[in-house]
Amino acid sequence: MTDLVLALDFGGTKIAAALVDPAGRVVRSSRVPTPAVDPWDAVVSVVSSVVGDAAVAGVGIASAGPVDTVAGTVSPINVPSWQAFPLRSAVSSLVPGVPVELAGDGVCMALGEHRRGAGQGSTFMVGLVVSTGVGGGLVFDGRPFGGRTGNAGHIGHIVVEPDGEPCTCGGRGCAETVAGGPRMVAWARRAGWQAPDDADAALLAAAALAGEEIPLEAFERAGQAVGIAIAGAAAVCDLELAVIGGGVAQAGELLFEPVRRALKTHAGLSYLAGLEVRAAQLGGEAGLVGAAALVRAAR
């Protein structure tokens, strides 16, 4: 098969790689957990297992951020051992002689959903990943928009509670401090939720679906925070669509209902009247599909 693109999706939880065909279909893929220490060997391993003897036309990289698409470096907040790590050139050494494109994972998720998922047919959209943190990316006029350094669309760091909790970014009261899965669980514990030591957002969602008051309130707070962040981004960027994916979003209407209520309250400008929210369709493939699309968009 010809014209395959190698896609790499690097995050704080997992490292995934895939071969993607011109139609945006994943032909072969592999994923491993992100090691707690230097993860480069894991990147080499997952890339090698996917590429094999295949010839690739280029490489697209989606990475947790912040990223610097000019320098080709990444400094993922949740991977402290990688600060200004030269990921683009390092990956290029594994697959020499082909173009290598780098973008934030939120941008790639948005682009993937735009090309082959819930964002098809839209022109100006934001994609959100509500999981351990809250990431995001923008598609403007049908093309990925990374801004000056590649970090545009970092919607999880829109401030929704000015006097809120400190954030890993160094700020305070970001949407991520309310809607990130571990933050939701921590808040529920402080509010009196009795749960096992290993409780996560999935268990919190199950408790909420069972009608437990504190878990329900945790999802209400998270949905409100995400909705407020979307409203702010949409007002600034004149967006028509927000596509939401990620582990926390798997809770469905537990999250989406308060998101929509928040938009009714906070997205009041006339040009936002048609602003729509949809659930992501591609799951874990979105970042890979979007990373591959980076290469094709750059041609």
Q: What is the set of domains in the chain, with CATH numbers?
A: 4-105 (3.30.420.40), 118-280 (3.30.420.40)
- Give the span between the Cα atoms of 198 and 174, in whole angstroms: 25
**Under 8 Å between Cβ of 76 and 10:** yes
What is the DSSP annotation of 77-120?
TT-TT-SSB-HHHHHHHHSTTS-EEEEEHHHHHHHHHHHHSTTT
Enter the tokens of residue 1. Answer: 């098969």
Enter the tokens of residue 197. Answer: 């030591």
Contacts of residue 96, defined as CB under 8 A and 6 or more positions apart, other chains included, come to none
Task: Give the orientation angle of helix 286-297 with respect to helix 105-116, to 10 degrees.
Answer: 90
Instruction: Give the residue from 205, 252, 67 showing the smallest Cα distance to 146.
Output: 67
Q: pLDDT tens digits, the chain, 299 residues: what are they?
A: 468 999 999 988 899 999 999 999 999 999 999 998 889 999 999 999 999 889 999 999 999 888 999 999 999 987 888 999 999 999 999 999 999 999 999 999 999 999 999 999 999 999 999 988 899 999 999 899 999 888 899 999 999 999 999 998 899 999 999 999 999 999 999 999 999 999 999 999 999 999 999 999 999 999 999 999 999 999 999 999 999 999 999 999 999 999 999 999 999 999 999 999 999 999 989 999 999 999 988 87
Strand partners, 4: 56
Preceding peptide of 99 cis, ω within 30°: no
- Continuous H helices in 150-252: 175-179, 181-190, 201-209, 213-237
Burial class (CB in 10 A: 0-12, 13-18, 19+), 90: middle
- Continuous H helices in 12-167: 40-51, 87-94, 105-116
**Under 8 Å between Cβ of 185 and 200:** yes
State the pLDDT at residue 2: 61
Instruction: Give the residue from 187, 176, 174 showing the smallest Cα distance to 218.
Output: 187
Instruction: Give the residue from 141, 102, 148 showing the smallest Cα distance to 124.
Output: 141
- Give the span between the Cα atoms of 99 and 54, in whole angstroms: 16
Tell me the backbone φ, ψ of residue 18, rounded to 5 degrees. Answer: -155, 155
Instruction: Give the residue from 243, 220, 248, 217 showing the smallest Cα distance to 230.
Output: 243
